[in-house]
Amino acid sequence: MPDDDERSTADRHLPVLLERCVDLLAPALAEPGSVLVDCTLGMGGHTEGVLERLPHVHVVGIDRDPQALRLAAARLARFGDRFTPVHAVYDEIGDVVARLGYDDGVQGVLMDLGVSSLQLDEAGRGFAYAQDAPLDMRMDQTTGPTAADVLNTYDEHELTRILREYGEERFAGKIARSIVRRRAERPWERTAELVDLVRACIPAATRKTGGNPAKRTFQALRIEVNGELEVLERAVPAAIEALAVGGRIVVESYHSLEDRIVKRAIARGTTSSAPPGLPVEPETHRAYLEALTRGAEEADDAELARNPRSASVRLRAAARLRPTPDHLRTTTTRTTGTARSARTTRKEDRR
């Protein structure tokens, strides 16, 4: 019988497009001893589905959130040593795979991007604009600056850029000015205060549609606090490099900024790099990936009815055909720690 921790975790998390993800990954995981890296373990729903359906597969689950790792480990304890949890950011996949001894690569990689059900549902984490909480928004609460630090230290120009680029917020300039003006009176501490300010900055006619007017600001802050797009830019190429020939990668994105990065990385591998007009395509310029989806797949009506959080999902998948040509191979797998350290230092310098 599952314990209370395991039952509550399963109840709180419905994995998006689970069957489709498993169907796409299964052909690459057919052989005994196959390994899947779940780069965004969360509460373990996708990993549980793979371990149940494919009893010969081992899953390495990566997450930066210690609480998620603890809950997922309880949920997946019945699978014994077929599951290995790893506390890391998923752009470190190359280092994780090497450290675990998978020198020839792994057979599958799964990424379910964005904020997890755990983080949204835990009021104290500060991710949800519908609940008052400290302005934290860190996926790993053991390290790094918080959303309050961003609001209290970034200048108006930086805040405007973040809101416009990461939140695609039309009223970014007005919101940024109001944030700076308000913090001159007292520092930012609570999410409800920010929700009220954003609502006051957005015209009433605009607020009638599109849901909570603060959702774009919260998205932008969350992306900035966790360096999500920077991490993703490194993680997708690193994940492709971690795949053995014949391996497959499946990525679920939830907004256009994420999907654009994933689309670009897959297109890079599925397109010949040979100069146009050559009579014969050189082997070193042939595509090294094959797309498994036509564009980005969305949730159907049945999935939407089962799991409303699937409304914005965009799923892309690809298979590795051959090793990446040397002239196209990136070095992201060994530079992520340095890059993240430099980024954190820049943030702390603003305090």
Binding residues for S-adenosyl-L-methionine: 44-46, 63, 90, 112, 119
**β-sheet bridge partners, residue 61:** 38, 85
Cα 110 from Cα 217, distance rounded (Å): 28
DSSP string, 84-152: EEEES-GGGHHHHHHHTT-TT-EEEEEEE-S--HHHHH-GGGS--TTS--BS---SSTTSS--HHHHHH
Residue where the block lists tokens 């001893």: 33
C-alpha angle 183-161-340 in degrees, rounded to nearest 5? 90
Do the strands 106-112 and 35-38 form a parallel or antiparallel pair, or are they unpaired? parallel
Going by the annotation, the residues of the binding site are 44-46, 63, 90, 112, 119
Using CB atoms within 10 A of its CB, is residue 35 exposed (0-12), middle (13-18) or buried (19+)?
Answer: buried
**β-sheet bridge partners, residue 251:** 111, 316
Closest CA relative to residue 60, chosen from 30, 31, 29: 29
